[in-house]
Structure 1
């Protein structure tokens, strides 16, 4: 497969997954904001929301204060934010349009309809009236896109590169959600005491569709340690770090065509560590340090995939604002920004 085609397919899937994860995080934070709590703790939640996506600096440059409506608008609607839901859905659609002959009409119609309906819903001010309805719709459309892929596409290189983009993005986002949530808990001592730990852990599990899974696995009260264990090491659940990286390892094996690649070696090493990991050891070494290291390694893995299979990453240049984000250069810059 041509590297340009693989690049479009890879980023089409990454942007679709990123839109879904952004909707999940916004939904969880919105639900938490409805609980009785101090203004300081509510603001901490929205700051964490921006920190997850590495967009604190961009937001602060255009906004004063941390109002929930402004953060939701910035993360959902704002086209100047390259990781907003609207920006991601547009980028997914533009990448899909560039490679329509490598997929099928069902997948194209799904992504194109999603983008068109997104514009209509935002123009109808759904974020002001029913933000939770919009977030659920984004998640549903992402599920639909993956369902079309699994149910209608031949399992060839095009299919594998789409899946590869999905699981690299999912691993990255799950790690960020977990890291920021634990960081919030550590900072809580600097704000007023909050008696709502249960609701916050329910929200973080809900943001990754993990609450019912948690109940089946542990059948007991929700504790931070078990939440971390589920999200990091439980390989039978497709949104965990272990399951995501295992899938990445298998997919690289499908597209490498007999070559020895750095990407495969990085994925195999990381997957092995997750399969054999113990949550007690991870927590004793410091969860934040572990997740920062994990995110760095996932970034290295994604860079290796780009070098070995996709378009070469060009030197940084400002993108013209009127052009849709379909080139790997712009996409890689957005994903690999340092934390603010």
Structure 2
């Protein structure tokens, strides 16, 4: 398989996942901001920008004024923001078009439809009454593409590279959402364990669509330690870090089987997988939640770079 084809499939999936994750964060921020006074609402929106790593870009364009409508339009459609949802969807379509012959008709049509629908939805500034519909459209279009991929693609290298892109991006997103919890979301450490703290944890679950699953598993009890364990180590939840690592390992195993050999990334990911299998939530908190997450983010990035290097994406 040509490296540029692998690159196109990988980045098509990353851009799609990134667009959906951005929409999820905006929705969680909007829910939280509705229940806060103006100052705290601005702090919520600042946390959304910080989670996405776009603080410098936003403040360069708008300064420190984190008004909700300004934030969500910056993240959804602002032409000065290369990380906007509109830019991500366009990037996904461009990559899909470049590897058109490696995709099924259904996948290409789903991606092209997503681009057309969202380009129209984001052609004008999004006002508050329309925000919910726009965010729902982003999630719906991403789900349709994912359904087309799962339902029509051969389980070959094309499929494996798209899945690798999806779970690299998803793991990074979940880790950043969880990490920003104690460093940006809470006004001060004095709030830890308070009713506000519990609501903030609930917002983290909402951002990854994990609230209902967590409540099913924990009889509705909102426990910060339990939520951290759920998002880090639960292998059943499709947005947990452990789930993402397991999927990366299985799709890389598929590539090794198809190509008849392993690459350096397999050994790198084996070490990361072993770490998750041998780690308990008590060990995570003993060593520091922030430190564990930062280590994962760095390792996840190393895995992404190793995939690009080992499979010669730009050859």
TM range (shorter): over 0.9
Once residues 70 and 190 of structure 1 are traced to their aligned partners in structure 2, the CA distance between those partners, rounded to angstroms, is: 30
Q: How does 1:174-185 map to 2 (within 5 A)?
A: 174-184=174-184
Once residues 185 and 310 of structure 1 are traced to their aligned partners in structure 2, the CA distance between those partners, rounded to angstroms, is: 40
Once residues 251 and 162 of structure 1 are traced to their aligned partners in structure 2, the CA distance between those partners, rounded to angstroms, is: 9
Deviation of 1:185 after TM superposition, in Å, equals: 5.0
Note the residue ranges of structure 2 that are not aligned, 5 or more in a row.
none
Once residues 271 and 127 of structure 1 are traced to their aligned partners in structure 2, the CA distance between those partners, rounded to angstroms, is: 44
Asked if structure 2 preserves the Cα contact closer than 8 Å seen for 1:21 and 1:173, the reply is yes
Q: Find the counterpart in structure 1 of residue 87 from structure 2.
A: 87
Alignment RMSD: 1.9
Q: 1:297 aligns with which of 292, 296, 299?
A: 299
Q: Find the counterpart in structure 1 of residue 264 from structure 2.
A: 262
TM-score where L is the length of structure 1? 0.87
Q: How does 1:1-340 map to 2 (within 5 A)?
A: 1-37=1-37, 39=39, 41-64=40-63, 65-184=65-184, 187-189=187-189, 195-256=195-256, 257-312=259-314
Asked if structure 1 preserves the Cα contact closer than 8 Å seen for 2:27 and 2:135, the reply is yes
Once residues 5 and 184 of structure 2 are traced to their aligned partners in structure 1, the CA distance between those partners, rounded to angstroms, is: 41
Deviation digits for residues 313-333 of structure 1, max 9, x if unmatched?
Answer: 9xxxxxxxxxxxxxxxxxxxx
TM-score where L is the length of structure 2? 0.93
Once residues 181 and 81 of structure 2 are traced to their aligned partners in structure 1, the CA distance between those partners, rounded to angstroms, is: 23
Deviation of 1:80 after TM superposition, in Å, equals: 2.5
Once residues 267 and 252 of structure 1 are traced to their aligned partners in structure 2, the CA distance between those partners, rounded to angstroms, is: 9
Note the residue ranges of structure 1 that are not aligned, 5 or more in a row.
314-340
Which is richer in helix? 2
Asked if structure 2 preserves the Cα contact closer than 8 Å seen for 1:37 and 1:194, the reply is no
Asked if structure 1 preserves the Cα contact closer than 8 Å seen for 2:174 and 2:240, the reply is yes
Q: How many residues align?
A: 311
Deviation of 1:266 after TM superposition, in Å, equals: 1.4
Asked if structure 2 preserves the Cα contact closer than 8 Å seen for 1:249 and 1:267, the reply is yes
Change (3 A) 1:38 1:283: farther
